[in-house]
Amino acid sequence: MLIFGFSLPTLPALALGDSTVTLEDVTPPVAPRGDLPPSEERIAKLFENNTFSVVNVFDTTLKPELNLTGSVEVPEGNGTGIVWDKDGHIVTNYHVIGSALSKGLGKKKPVARVSLLVEDGVQKTFQATLVGADKTKDLAVLKIDAPEALLHPISVGKSSNLKVGQRCLAIGNPFGFDHTLTVGVVSGLNRDINSQTGVIIGGGIQTDAAINPGNSGGPLLNSEGKLIGINAAIFTRTGTSAGIGFAIPVDAVSRVVPQLIKYGKIMHAGLKIQVAPDIVAKQLNVKKGSLVLSVLPSSTAAKAGLVATRRGIAGNILLGDVILAVDNLSIKNPPELAKALDDHEIGDRVVLKVQRDDKVFDIHVELEESLN
């Protein structure tokens, strides 16, 4: 071949392979895995033992959209739930099925589809109806008609004895990836959770276990594999995990869920009174405590002698009692009063420290179902 008057030597053909070398000769030996370290083996077993107790929950009012871009998106209403008992009760967050509840479907049609793991890699989907829900606790109970053999209730623990630094595990469906495990520690206790329902839930568990959209309603477990919380929210500026997640403590869940199953709602313990909002209290020069605006005449609060705000003969406003404490727990405003009473059951007797005019004294009263 001539190129610009120069001749090039003919090159030998490139060899495509050496027939004398076998695949086995060029395949490196694979070392056996060996036993996992005890700590890793324990975590793996905890996941295996609990994965059948964790379900995927889809709000029926929201249709999944086909994504052709290859990116991962989380539709609103895609969350996680746990199997509560052999009767088919599923516990999740209120906000996971909030769209269906806002449309009133709970009383007429199924509010969610629940995907239950029936064997490794195989899931079966059931229609779920609403049993009960409470927005103030961001909890809901669903019911599926599944064979008892497929239902594996989660093991319920306690949250009152948690310690910062102890290990915890979260199982859920972040970004639609079902049955995903993340591991961390309890990084804080008694946090206020700014729930997606728009309310503040006290006593929350803070964890650095990665919690992302889709984890809502899933379990937070201790190192024994027992339920210690229901994952509910994250602190984030980007929409993804920033290492600060929050769970509703299981002690609260254990009080709320039986009531939702039995009554369809939470029977909140309280006083059948109305208290002044902060802005009204400040206008009336009440700087601390919770001012009583009205008292239901037939209530235990009325029988105990709690006095409401009223108008005098000349039309002037006469302030009612100001509740300063509940069982020696200081009360600065109405939310603190609600939180203090929420820790009690209907029928409990509490001591209210009240201010009336210039006098401060105690009133003993039995709690009953709240007006709210």
Q: What is the CATH number of domain 40-63+75-150?
A: 2.40.10.10
Confidence of residue 5 (pLDDT cuts 50, 70, 90): low
Task: Let me know how long the chain is.
Answer: 372
Q: Looking at residues 38-48, what average pLDDT do you find?
A: 92
Q: What is the pLDDT of residue 303?
A: 95
Q: Looking at residues 322-326, what average pLDDT do you find?
A: 96
SS3 201: strand
Question: Which tokens go with 289?
Answer: 């405590």
- Domain boundary assignment for the chain: 40-63+75-150, 167-263, 269-369
Position 179 pLDDT exceeds 70? yes
Place of tokens 């889809």: 58
DSSP H/E element including 282? helix 278-283
Give 95's DSSP letter: G
Q: Looking at residues 321-330, what average pLDDT do you find?
A: 94
Q: Looking at residues 27-39, what average pLDDT do you find?
A: 85
Q: Is CATH 3.30.70.580 correct for 269-369?
A: no
Indicate yes or no: pTM above 0.85. no
Q: What is the pLDDT of residue 238?
A: 55
Q: Above pLDDT 90, what percent of the chain?
A: 55
Q: What is the pLDDT of residue 2?
A: 47
Which sequence positions are flagged as catalytic?
95, 138, 216
**Phi, psi for 148 (deg, rounded to 5):** -60, -30
**Phi, psi for 55 (deg, rounded to 5):** -120, 165
Confidence of residue 25 (pLDDT cuts 50, 70, 90): confident
Q: At the top level of CATH, which class does the domain 167-263 belong to?
A: mainly beta
Pairing of strands 349-356, 227-234: unpaired
pLDDT in tens, 235-268: 655 555 567 889 999 999 999 999 999 999 888 8
DSSP string, 226-261: -EEEEEEEE--SSSS--S-EEEEEHHHHHHHHHHHH
Confidence of residue 65 (pLDDT cuts 50, 70, 90): very low
Confidence of residue 212 (pLDDT cuts 50, 70, 90): confident
Q: What is the pLDDT of residue 243?
A: 72
Position 40 pLDDT exceeds 60? yes
**Same-fold call for 40-63+75-150 versus 269-369:** no
Q: What is the pLDDT of residue 20?
A: 83
Q: What is the pLDDT of residue 124?
A: 94
Cα 231-235-241 angle, rounded to 5 deg: 75
Report the distance separating Cα 52 and Cα 48, nearest Å. 8
Task: Answer with the residue of higher pLDDT: 365 or 267.
Answer: 365
Work out the mean pLDDT of the chain and round it to a whole number. Answer: 86
Task: Answer with the residue of higher pLDDT: 213 or 134.
Answer: 134
Task: Answer with the residue of higher pLDDT: 202 or 13.
Answer: 202
Task: Answer with the residue of higher pLDDT: 194 or 94.
Answer: 94
Position 200 pLDDT exceeds 80? no
Q: What is the pLDDT of residue 71?
A: 36
Q: Looking at residues 332-352, what average pLDDT do you find?
A: 88
